[in-house]
Structure 1
Amino acid sequence: MTTWAEEAAPADPPPWDGGWHRAATRLPSPNHGTRPAPARSAIDLIVVHSISLPPGEYGGGAVQQLFTNTLDWDAHPYYQSIRGLAVSSHFFIERTGALWQFVDCDLRAWHAGQSAYRGRSQCNDDSIGIELEGLEGLAFEPAQYRTLATLCQDIARRYPIAHIAGHEHIAPGRKQDPGLGFDWVKVQKALRWPPHRFPAATRPAILAAS
């Protein structure tokens, strides 16, 4: 019997079309830029986020609209607080596990903001951002973990990934996602990556479960 972690192992070869993942629904965002020259060969960080629009509501397509600058700012009172925001992520994983991609991974998406990690600032420059549909502090779905595991393995086969962290770890005090509801132990077991690739705050739980 195989575990869900084993079932999440990527195909060989990974399904890439340049910097686009063939398993994702492609919806290009205008919110991106060229990575600085030194970062192009050092894309070594995956950043995990959570998002839902309006907060706590799922499946309405508002996240896709936000990342493509097509969100109707008057459709919900909450949107007034983010009116005019121009952001993006490379990937978005719905509660069902469905995968979307907005930015070519060779390019710089606008997901991290002011940030620093592994001794380097401006994490947008050399990271790949993955948004999970959810609310910080709450649990995520098994289907999302399966898609995330497969995606991370595929990314690591194309780019020199050495770290994975949450938005909360690269922008502490400013961001809290994906939050306490995100199971880092489950992710580490699925990926089978060594604990040192994970945020320091998550390692005691990872080591205890190993």
Structure 2
Amino acid sequence: MPKGLLKQGWLASARKCISPHFNSRPTDEVSLLVIHNISLPAGCFGLPHIDALFQGCLDTEADDSFAELAGLQVSAHFLIRRDGEVVQYVSCDDRAWHAGISEFNGRTGCNDFAIGIELEGTDSSGYTDEQYHQLMLLTLELMAQYPMINVNNIVGHCDIAPGRKTDPGFSFDWSRYKQAIAVA
């Protein structure tokens, strides 16, 4: 992915699936990258339910497990599907609603200054080579556009909401990912 493909916070190569679940950042600061995982229903991949959730139109009767998601207003900036497709829901210049109650380096409300990337997966499912490749490319683009994001400011949801969240889970290969962005 060549540098500069992020225009007004939108990645040119990503499929756009705009979410209504965002608002303006309180400042222009973008200094944290948070890695998550998601699958709907849990452990099922390649279905349209993640897009529907982030767009606020999930049919909560489509699966019994969706009942608890009724009325939930949540989004992420990006989703990387199992096949490597990158989907963008919110401009990186805006605040997506992905971190919830969170803290990083003594600062609360990580949504204010973070970009959230969801990986289609579960804590235990492992991630595909395509996902790691796209995550590395996307991370490098974000680091180029938002210089306050560096290797020390890339965390899992579990790191900013310990005890509440576990993603991206033990199956995420942090060493592989961090080596890839350091070598590139």
How many residues of Structure 1 are paired with residues of Structure 2 in the alignment?
180
Write the distance in 1 (CA, Å) between the matches of 2:70 and 2:11.
30
SS at structure 2 position matched to 1:124? helix
The two structures have a TM-score, normalised by structure 1, of 0.84
The within-5 A match list for 1:1-210 is 10-11=1-2, 13-37=3-27, 40=28, 42-159=29-146, 160-162=148-150, 163-192=153-182
Matched residue, 1:5? none
Structure showing greater Rg: 1
Gaps of 5+ in 1: 1-9, 194-210
How far the C-alpha of 1:82 sits from its partner, in A, is 1.6
**Partner amino acid for 1:45?**
L
How far the C-alpha of 1:137 sits from its partner, in A, is 2.5
Whether the aligned pair in 2 keeps the contact of 1:47 and 1:128 (CA below 8 Å) is: yes
How far the C-alpha of 1:14 sits from its partner, in A, is 2.4
SS at structure 1 position matched to 2:65? helix
Write the distance in 1 (CA, Å) between the matches of 2:6 and 2:169.
30
Write the distance in 2 (CA, Å) between the matches of 1:67 and 1:121.
23
Query: Runs of 4+ in structure 1 displaced over 3 angstroms?
Result: none
Write the distance in 2 (CA, Å) between the matches of 1:58 and 1:191.
26
Percent of residue pairs bearing the same amino acid type: 42
CA RMSD between the two structures: 1.0
Gaps of 5+ in 2: none
